[in-house]
Structure 1
């Protein structure tokens, strides 16, 4: 029998399960390693799920006409005119991204760091991955000069980069690339004949949309951009697994859509009927959905900014968050002091945080970052408490000042301060 080598499980999911086990055993942990939007379920979503329960038959692979039209309307309202025939829905954006990897030939270009799923998916599809460093100001998009050089170096070495994955706003840095950068990257993609996949699942979680301009690559290069999105982050229904993809309007876009649908027919057959009912309602964006999106974006922004402030006060460098619910601190300024405590890379930094302070983070090495860097991703969306406390946080004028959140933030600040303190034993909380 031929031995089969398996890749390890997704690190964020593995850490989430570790936290669940340790909490069940009585450990008190601050969980910053899993990007789940913990929010109370909107009653209207539960109603739609119940209505859709009778939709028990298989449906079209790409999705029923109603849900595809609703998603098309969602994009059209965001300045991207879209026909329903250019939409595919699936059980979360993750399988849609995998189907794209299977459908597009050539190798993959990724920002460095990037969400921890992109690179493994490319590997499963038999592709090489070329990481490109991000600028100092923002993530989710590679530095244009470094991207150009990476493409040339990859081709000289026999690689065939064809697919560029971008994230707006970014996971893991919580930042948003400015319009000028989007235009520059799109021009480079045209010159180098790259297909862009723009992961915009956090688009509706821009913290201050009036002050923060959002430009999608699909606005600039519609003929070569696929946009993916979903409902897990904006509405807190990650376990329901609802995603969607928008394809280019031209003939090539139609052929790519057909290829993704063919892959989907072998991978998941169709988005579950009850979830299509939910998606049709949610993507149509009735007033209660829009109100929840505004409230959650405000909440995510307030707590992410508080964690950013704590990291900076502890001595880290950190890009200010603008969207989503992440911060990505860099403890390089404290390297000398951390080395005295055995912390020399992102893995040992994450290990020290959990061992000494019960703070669980996702080390940058798990996100394609340089292993020796002292960086990690902190997901701030799990700090809102139980369902009743989450509702209070959504309604609060200053969510970070609520006692249950403020207490956790104080513990986080103490944990960061303990990093460089000799003999700092973990205190009970």
Structure 2
């Protein structure tokens, strides 16, 4: 089945190509221009057309080790594996690790799909009310017991901190509690930290702080550096014999699927992962931009009557239109898919229904990505990145006004 996020992006781009005006809130692309220094590194590495080591070049692994270490997870180069994006690494981990997969619900669309491809069952556990990305600790152990009683073999717990789809950061006590449960049940934690550099205020808690010997971290440059199309991902395995054994298994999978990260992209990784000051400033500006626009969009959803957690990282919202259920039912809207269809067909607003993330079909929830509101051209996006008040820019303000009209149009009909 086609990934829901990729499918909505292709659908909306096709509508644009056909001359339709759409408000693209369905795809988690960071929506920012490539910094000049990064583009120059790629251009300079264009002649590197040889295969390299499966794990990545020594220089790239050294840079990644320093990058992880500066973020509080002391790391050696021998713990790092590169790949063309973090998504292949996640799949390789599901192939290499034993047991079924425990997921917070809702969670990113590809986790369950990859588990199915790997012939593993998924065990969904609702997220806490405060934030997403981790299962509710109060429900996790009971869910594990129930799943085991029906023949499941829980073996892997996936955490997304910060979270996609809710745009929130898990509370430190929740991460600590679920890691303690994972240790008790002998689970391996896969910590997807792709948004860790985009926390709007402060830093995200890390599973490696609580279960260092059984936590594998995946991340990459697609979100913090807006290099999604360049496909640069990396994983960090734990210190020690178990981590070395897992890395060996991952290399076995990688060598048969992607061989190695493209050599020019490894040159980019070497540059970016050293945290040069101009790129740190770039990430700081992008973090500020993501926060400002996501918070402005959040205000529009709340004003229209939806319930929505405040955005805390990245560029996502996860509004719930349950308070408007009677009004929406009068329009034949009885679930997330119908709500998303109504927004697209009536108002040209593209979002993803919550059921794509494992949510209930009758839930009136959706994931909203605000990162493609920064401009239609590279010049507009660069101006948004450099602006102290990006919400006041005419093209951003116009998009938010269109969103406001669509939301209030739904709320008024019936």
Question: Structure 1 length as normaliser, TM-score?
Answer: 0.95
Aligned residues of 2:127 and 2:133 also touching (Cα < 8 A): yes
1:93 aligned partner: 86
1:153 to 146, 157, 162: 146
Q: 2:354 aligns with which of 353, 364, 389?
A: 364
Match of 1:235 in 2: 225
Aligned to 2:5: 12
Contact 1:341–1:420 under 8 Å retained in 2: no
5 Å-filtered alignment, 1:110-259, equals 110-209=103-202, 213-259=203-249
Ranges of 4+ aligned residues in structure 1 off by more than 4 Å: none
- Work out which of the residue numbers 344, 365, 368 in structure 2 matches 1:378: 368
Which residue number in structure 1 is paired with residue 398 of structure 2? 407
1:326-373 deviation line (CA, Å, top 9, x unaligned): 000000011111101111100100011001111100000111001110
**SS at 1:382 equivalent:** coil
Partner of 2:331: 341
What does the per-residue CA deviation read over 1:210-244, in whole Å, with 9 as the maximum and x for residues that have no partner?
xxx42200111100100111001111111100000
Cα deviation digits, residues 114-170 of structure 1 (max 9, x gap): 000110101000100111100111000110121111100010001001000010110
* CA distance in structure 2 between the aligned counterparts of 1:243 and 1:102, rounded to whole angstroms: 17
Does the Cα contact within 8 Å between 2:304 and 2:411 map onto a contact in 1? no
Give the Cα–Cα distance (whole angstroms) in 1 for the partners of residues 286 and 164 of structure 2.
17
Distance in 2 separating the partners of 1:397 and 1:289: 18
Say yes or no: does 1:23 pair with 2:13. Answer: no
1:39-118 equivalences in 2 (<5 Å): 39-118=32-111
Q: Deviations over 1:1-51 (max 9, x none)?
A: xxxxxxx21011011111111111111000111000111111111111122
2:388 counterpart residue number: 397
Q: What is the CA distance between 1:294 and its match in structure 2?
A: 0.3
| Residue matched to 2:30 | 37
**Whole-angstrom distance in 1 between the partners of 2:176 and 2:7:** 37
Partner of 1:282: 272
Corresponding residue of 2:292: 302
Q: Which residue of 2 aligns with 1:387?
A: 378
Q: Unpaired runs of 5+ in structure 2?
A: none
For structure 1, which runs of at least 5 residues remain unmatched after alignment? 1-7, 424-429
CA distance in 2 between counterparts of 1:193 and 1:161 reads: 9
